[in-house]
């Protein structure tokens, strides 16, 4: 598999240098692999830190900036960052109001963020953590005990980020983040496997004419393999899988997410089918975001995330955000 | 090749329905294939209209909104829209101050926009047109007499859009658009060919271990085929090809553009190499944008566009923009 890289060993550090060059409003520590908004720590504000294996860009480094994360720690591709990175990030963003760790539910990430929380607390930083586990496809997987954390991470980071921006205290930002996670469910579908730079060949074998339902974001196998389906059929399957578990009683935020290699033209067409299913099921899409946000390297495919939203979550979702990967103004 | 679609015949109309659902601030006429900002015509403002074959998203429909285009006309995949679409768009956005057509240099687009200009003028609308032809790779191609229009289209649409937003008259918006095009050059590289929905197989054959230098955005062949190169070598080749032709005497705007299927992680790594070459050549990158903006369906690869920028172009580049594909605030 051909890649636009130098050597697998420098993929993450090369990307960090390129990120730094494009975004002077971020401080990128390439050596220690920590991305921090340049004006951190922001006085009086709770600091938000996330991180995880690389290969899901723009998640998380692309979500650092006003209105979202204060710092992100990228690990090697599909590999948890180490506690030292997270503790370093916490120290860089703590203004004295405490730090929230936003952790996707993968065994390595959970362990390392726990350890980092202890390290930060030893330095006198107050730390709270919230676990994201929105993926309804499988209960346990190659990398997880319990549900995996996928698309809902974007909702958690955006909404908690907006609350922190408004000056909410740590307990409140933590509670909101937890509420967003509990209100969110995701389901993903792969048309192709992804290829990691170090392996150089697809992470699983997906024959022509077949797709994998219920995949994760690390090329881990899904729930079921089937003969190729239409956009309409895939939307029926994915949205119904989510709604079996969520049963929203009000409007939802919708993320129609590309896994990396699926063209925007196809993602918008898929969104039309997602909206159709929601309409048929009597669910109102209050806001819809379509694009590549929580990716899996060069995987072709998509995921659907729904988050049941009340007025407060909607207001925080609409609040301004200025990051490389997600930005809007008033 | 697997695609997230229903049938090839409805790919564009499905995408337009999905775009409409996600962006209530756009008026999407699915039947006539015209995307217009909802508040058009904006009183006292020159209207900006662009368009072209689908398959390059977010270009052009994703660039409709305050600070950029007033309307876009998507054709079938890699096929020019028809004059009726463009004339309809002109009528929808003209406030009496005239309309600028931004036309990428492909034979079909040029013919059809010319015809549409005559139709609009017959209706009493003042129309000016600017041709974008920034691609230094080839002088003539399958679809073009002269240079192809590629990445510079984004610079032209953004900067002319900002000027129109400020209330500049038609002659001035046109002159600026022309100046941006004349100050811009691009060069693209493919690691894989793209697959159109109707054909269902790659548009050209690119063996493993080879890449194509100087490709266009329709899967048309490039300038030269070589054994696979590193990110560093590709950046040297692409940036030098641009600089052979541009010879900037001041700072440049940089677009490091993904062709659709190349992960953001790789694009940022490639940007590090682009910045290195610019530094070695004594060229200052004043602003850098990295991402999938002018794409070629599911093609893996990238392009580099440089635009020599003075203070005025820089100020207009930095002006707020609110579109699905490009947005920033103050």
Among B149, B182, B215, where does a domain finish? Answer: B182
Q: Please write the tens of the pLDDT for every residue from A57-101.
A: 999 999 999 999 999 999 999 999 999 999 999 999 999 999 999
Query: From the list A17, A267, A330, which residue is nearest B272 (CB)?
Result: A17
Domain containing A12: what range? 8-183
pLDDT category, A330, cuts 50, 70, 90? Answer: low
Residues B154 and B39 in one domain: yes
What pLDDT does residue B203 have?
86
User: Which of A157, A183, A209 is the last residue in one of the domains?
Assistant: A183
Which residues of B, range 282-321, sit inside 8 Å of A by Cβ?
285, 288-290, 292, 295, 297-298, 300-302, 320
Catalytic residue numbers of B, as ranges: 56, 218
What φ, ψ does residue A195 adopt, rounded to 5°?
A: -125, 120
Specify whether B152 is located in the same domain as B190.
no
Considering chain A, what is the average pLDDT of its residues?
96
CB B191 within 8 A of CB B211: yes
Q: In CATH, what number is assigned to the domain containing residue A61? A: 3.40.50.10440
| B198-241 pLDDT per residue, tens | 999 888 889 989 999 999 888 787 889 999 999 999 999 999 99
Q: For B235, which residue in chain A has the nearest alpha carbon?
A: A4
**A-chain residue closest to B15, CA distance:** A269
Q: Is B297 exposed, middle or buried (0-12, 13-18, 19+ CB in 10 A)?
A: buried
Distances (CA, A) of A95 to A43, A44, A88, A265: 5, 6, 14, 43
> Rounded to whole angstroms, how far apart are CA atoms B92 and B26?
12
Residue in B58, B271, B322 closest to A22 by CB: B271
- Rounded CA-CA distance A253/A152 in Å is 10
Inter-chain touch A328–B320, beta carbons under 8 Å: no
pLDDT in tens, A280-293: 999 999 999 999 99
Q: Tell me the HSE value of A216 on the side-chain side, using a 13 A CA sphere.
A: 23
The residue from A136, A161, A183 where one domain ends is A183
Tokens standing for residue B20 = 């409409």
Q: For position A196, which CATH number holds?
A: 3.30.1180.20
**What pLDDT band is residue B330 in, cutting at 50, 70 and 90?**
low
Distance CA A225, CA A15 (A): 34
Q: Is the pLDDT of residue A25 over 90?
A: yes
% of residues, chain A, pLDDT over 90 = 91
Position A1 in a domain: no
Say if the Cβ atoms of B55 and A265 lie within 8 Å: yes
A87 in contact with chain B, both atoms CB, cutoff 8 A: no
CA of A274 vs chain B CAs: smallest distance (Å): 9
Query: What domain count does chain B have?
Result: 2
Given a cut of 80, whether residue B126 has pLDDT beyond it is yes
A22 and B290 within 8 Å at the Cβ level: the answer is: yes
How far is it, in rounded angstroms, from Cα B291 to Cα B301? 11
Among B residues 37-56, those touching chain A with beta carbons less than 8 Å apart: 54-55
- B169 and B238 assigned to the same domain: no
Same domain (yes/no): A49, A192: no
Lookup: tokens for A62: 């692309």
- Chain B touched by A271 (CB under 8 Å): yes
How far is residue A75's CA from residue A11's CA, in Å, rounded to a whole number? 11
Report whether B125 contacts B141 (CB < 8 A).
no
The residue of chain B nearest to residue A256, with distances taken between CA atoms, is B22
Task: Confirm or reject contact between B252 and chain A (CB < 8 A).
Answer: no
pLDDT of res. B219: 78
Average pLDDT, chain B: 96
How many of the other CB atoms lie within 10 Å of CB of A142? Answer: 13
pLDDT band at B298 (very low <50, low <70, confident <90, very high): very high
Same domain, B204 and B158: no
Same domain for A135 and A269, yes or no, is no
List the beta strands (DSSP E) in chain A: 26-29, 34-37, 47-54, 71-77, 99-104, 127-132, 184-190, 210-213, 224-227, 252-258, 285-291, 301-308, 321-322, 327-328
Determine what percent of chain A falls in helix, strand and coil, rounding each to the nearest 5: 35, 25, 40
Whether residues A223 and A167 share a domain: the answer is no
The residue among B244, B328, B323 whose CA lies nearest residue B63 is B323
CA within 13 Å, CB half, A163:
23
Q: pLDDT-derived band of residue A138, with 50, 70 and 90 as boundaries?
A: confident
Q: In the 8-state DSSP scheme, what is residue A175?
A: H
pLDDT in tens, B30-88: 999 999 999 999 999 999 999 999 999 999 999 999 999 999 999 999 999 999 999 99
């Amino acid at each position: 598999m051909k890649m636009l890289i130098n050597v697998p060993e420098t993929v993450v550090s090369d990307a960090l240098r390129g990120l730094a060059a494009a975004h002077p409003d971020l401080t990128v520590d390439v050596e220690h692999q920590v991305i921090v908004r340049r004006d951190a720590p922001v006085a009086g504000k709770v600091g938000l830190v996330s991180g995880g294996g690389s290969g899901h860009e723009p998640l998380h480094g692309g979500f650092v900036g006003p209105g979202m994360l204060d710092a992100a720690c990228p690990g090697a591709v599909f590999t948890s960052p180490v506690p030292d990175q997270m503790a370093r990030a916490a120290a860089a963003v703590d203004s004295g109001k405490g730090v929230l760790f936003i952790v996707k539910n993968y065994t390595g990430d959970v362990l390392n963020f726990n350890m980092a929380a202890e390290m930060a607390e030893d330095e006198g930083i107050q730390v709270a953590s919230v676990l994201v586990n929105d993926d309804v496809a499988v209960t346990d997987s190659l990398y997880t005990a319990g549900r995996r954390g996928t698309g809902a991470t974007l909702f958690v980071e955006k909404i908690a980020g907006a609350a922190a921006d408004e000056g909410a205290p740590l307990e409140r930002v933590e509670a909101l983040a937890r509420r967003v996670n509990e209100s969110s469910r995701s389901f993903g579908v792969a048309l192709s496997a992804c290829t990691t730079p170090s392996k150089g060949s697809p992470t699983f074998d997906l024959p022509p004419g077949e797709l994998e339902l219920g995949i994760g974001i690390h090329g881990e196998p899904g729930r079921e393999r089937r003969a190729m389906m239409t956009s309409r059929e895939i939307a029926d399957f994915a949205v119904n899988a989510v709604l079996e578990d969520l049963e929203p009683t009000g409007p939802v935020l919708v993320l129609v997410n590309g896994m990396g290699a699926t063209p925007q033209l196809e993602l918008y067409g898929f969104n039309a089918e997602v909206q159709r299913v929601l309409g048929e099921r009597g669910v109102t899409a209050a806001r819809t975001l379509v694009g590549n946000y929580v990716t899996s390297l060069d995987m072709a495919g998509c995921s659907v995330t729904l988050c049941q939203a009340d007025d407060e979550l909607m207001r925080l979702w609409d609040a301004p955000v200025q990051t490389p990967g997600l930005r809007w103004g008033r």
